[in-house]
Amino acid sequence: MATHKLLRNIVIVLAVFTLSPLHANGVFSQSNENEKKMHHSSLPFTEEMASYLYHFAFDCIDKEYPNKPGHVMGDDSYLLPPREMHPAFYGCFDWHSAVHGHWTLTNILMQFPGFEHEDAIITKLQHNITEENIRAEIRFFEDEHNTTFQRTYGWAWFLKLAETLREWSHPAAAEMHKNILPLEQLLADRFIEFLEVLNYPIRVGEHTNTAFGMSFAYDYAVKYHPELALAIESKAREFYLQDRGCPLTWEPGGFDFLSPCLQEASLMLKVLPQEEFEPWLEEFLPGLMDYPEKFLIPAVVPDASDGKLAHLDGLNFSRAWCLFEMGQALQNKQLIDLGTHHFQYSYNKMDADEYAGSHWLASFAVYALIKYGM
């Protein structure tokens, strides 16, 4: 254990003095602002869109039922209502959706200062994100039966929320970040510990996909947690650097809300320098850069009331943000246009009356819009 701690300390020191290309100035050191803003399709994040999207999260972050707890019960004492088990994040059907519902609202307010519903949103956020409520959340994660609860999907979204609260200039944000900081530190440490023992990547199109979790966590870690950033960089290379010929035409699976191939490419875009990423991508997804529409068409949801089938609308949004990331970094108009097509296909079908999707889809839509605008 002493040797392990010493190695960790060495890693932290090295991280302070060693910057990857993304550490320095963003993907591929984004030195050219004009290239960064290369938008060939019209998809601005407008306040009108924010006014439509906000209510999906606003209406559910304190909506306790229906609820899918997803935890392990040790005895009868675990039979508690969601609001007592997770007083900060009990709404939106499940814990991770509650977390990214809070993320959605904070990002809308950060994108649109003076947003017309700002006061009502902040009131709800402050009611949930209190020091006492976060202490209760920590106690749950420290329970012997639930140390892996929400690994790694919920952890990654929580770190996204922490990233936003650190960067949002509203006075309420500093207090909320202070409240969540102990849980932020706990989950960042848990993420490192998990990567240390994980021998193989998880390549599914749902919550446990490791490329997604690592990619989201990396956005936070590269700015605020050097040890986690280095752990993700190392594990990404170990897991994915030798991958070739990802079967993109096999996607999607019927329950997917993530593209295993595109999420992996999104992660490697962030951790590899350009001179490594471009040849890696050509071998990993041969032909994608030239004819992306040959491999990807928007997924169709056959029944929006079925929670698993509704995942496919989320897939269209998550594909969109991956295509935006790669299209902008590689100056590829076709990727950006295809991402826009995916986004618009599902955005035009969002239905607030279908809770199977409405409790979470706005988060994916907002994230795609933010990625388009970066």
Q: Which of 5, 250, 207, 202 is nearest to 99 (CA)?
A: 207
CA 253 to chain CA mean position, Å: 20
Cβ 86 vs Cβ 98: under 8 Å:
yes
Kindly report, residue by residue over 314-328, the tens digit of the pLDDT: 999 999 999 999 999
Strands (DSSP E) along 211-264, which ranges?
none
- pLDDT above 90: residue 20: no
Residue 35: its pLDDT value, please? 44
Give the model confidence (pLDDT) of 75-129 as tens digits: 999 999 999 999 999 999 999 999 999 999 999 999 999 999 999 999 999 999 9
Residue 355's pLDDT is what?
97
Residue 41 is predicted with a pLDDT of 54
Whether 17 has a pLDDT exceeding 50, the answer reads no
CA distance 76 to 82: 15
pLDDT for 24 equals 41
- Alpha carbon of residue 40 to chain centroid: 25
Nearest to 108 by CA among 156, 162, 45, 158: 45
What fold does the segment set 40-373 form as a domain?
A: Glycosyltransferase (1.50.10)
pLDDT tens digits along 141-160 = 999 999 999 999 999 999 99
Question: 132 near 179, Cβ under 8 Å?
Answer: no
- pLDDT tens track for 220-233: 999 999 999 999 99
- Which residues fall within 8 angstroms of residue 168, CB to CB, at 6 or more apart? 106, 109, 110
Of all residues in the chain, what percent are helix, strand and coil, respectively (each to 5)? 65, 0, 35
- Within 8 A by CB and 6+ apart from 170, the residues are 109, 110, 113, 122
By C-alpha distance, which of 366, 289, 320 is closest to 105? 366
